[in-house]
Structure 1
């Protein structure tokens, strides 16, 4: 048996260790508002997304078939990497040391990588089931019903390409994609006015409103 750190940095675990590092950096950046968690498409069971169905193509059908739908693709990919990494590390600690030669260990390592990914798919599908309710697509997001209302900025900055805001409703607050002309004074916690809806990009144009306290 080998140690955990040695297992995580040896083949085949090291492949998923690198990918896991990329995933961790992504989520750290999302926590400080530099990247948008929901910027990718949310693949629904019937392909009801803000993205064009032709652009999603075969990928969407595969995700739905495997049960990897209803949450942002970034969440799906992160869980796939995490589960695959866990399986390969355990195999590197307990199974691969039992293989007698380096050549056979290399072949076994490749097999472990594939098996780990295969196991990660159903496990990830099971894990995302309780998360789907957090990413329900509301009809108000896909039309101009919110134009003229106030919103609260959720990201550190808002520019022509990136931004996220929250709109208060009678029920739960609605999380929307937004953009704004630069330069501007918008930042996390700022209040703004929704000026227009861009149907092609499924996002709203916002601007700071001096009348908003």
Structure 2
């Protein structure tokens, strides 16, 4: 037991021990309701713009996706990374570090263990979170105004100021919408039309013939 405590409080495992204590503190505060549990959708589209303290967020997001660490809440990713790295480093520190004779050599080997533990923890965490992604998929309803400017296909026999139905092509299932148009017009079933605006009051889209 003494070797274990010496390992987790000595370099390099001490670095992960501090991070692990921070993670445990976060989850304790989360259980008490003092912090929010952040949630990222499984189908993560990281199109981050901007720059914080010289860090390109888009580049960081690209690395996160490339390493397979997306699709679950960031707090879970960090927690698993720290826990796995701490576990690897503590075992290596317990069995390998006592065999290193001199302090400078221990520092050199310890730095290597720190880097290796981090790299291996990324690989293991990526595999651990893979089956979790389905639990955190969020489906965001498409905003009505986002359809403005797109084309639709008329499904009703005619369209006037008070009646009309159309469909907007989507990936997967098409989106059925209620539409209206100024009369007279040449809109009939199968016609293609532009969506000009959305009326919040009536819940209908104003369309105009593509011709």
TM tier, smaller: 0.5 to 0.7
Distance, in Å, in 2 between the alignment partners of 1:98 and 1:143 is 62
Note if contact 1:43-1:73 (Cα within 8 Å) is conserved in structure 2.
Answer: no
Note if contact 2:69-2:129 (Cα within 8 Å) is conserved in structure 1.
Answer: yes
Shift of 1:20: 0.3
Shift of 1:53: 2.6
Distance, in Å, in 1 between the alignment partners of 2:41 and 2:12 is 31
Q: Which residue matches 1:178?
A: none
Q: Which residue matches 1:105?
A: 106
* CA distance 1:143–1:77, shift in 2 (3 Å): farther
Shift of 1:137: 1.5
Note if contact 1:68-1:125 (Cα within 8 Å) is conserved in structure 2.
Answer: yes
Q: Where does 1:58-97 land on structure 2 (aligned, <5 Å)?
A: 58-97=59-98
Q: Which residue matches 1:53?
A: 48
User: When the two structures are superposed, what TM-score results if normalisation uses the length of structure 2?
Assistant: 0.60
Q: Which residue matches 1:122?
A: 123
Distance, in Å, in 1 between the alignment partners of 2:85 and 2:25 is 18
Distance, in Å, in 2 between the alignment partners of 1:42 and 1:81 is 22
Secondary structure at 1:122 match in 2 = helix
Shift of 1:44: 3.7
Q: Which residue matches 1:168?
A: none
* CA distance 1:98–1:133, shift in 2 (3 Å): same
- Bigger radius of gyration among the two: 2
Q: Which residue matches 1:15?
A: 15
User: When the two structures are superposed, what TM-score results if normalisation uses the length of structure 1?
Assistant: 0.59
Note if contact 2:42-2:133 (Cα within 8 Å) is conserved in structure 1.
Answer: no
Ranges of 4+ aligned residues in structure 1 off by more than 6 Å:
none
What number of residue pairs does the alignment pair up? 138
Q: Which 5+ residue runs of structure 2 have no aligned equivalent?
A: 51-56, 145-211
Q: Which residue matches 2:35?
A: 35
Aligned Cα root-mean-square deviation (Å): 2.1
Note if contact 1:2-1:93 (Cα within 8 Å) is conserved in structure 2.
Answer: no
Distance, in Å, in 2 between the alignment partners of 1:17 and 1:102 is 21
* CA distance 1:135–1:43, shift in 2 (3 Å): closer
1:78-109 Cα shifts (integer Å, max 9, x gaps): 11111111111011101111112111011100
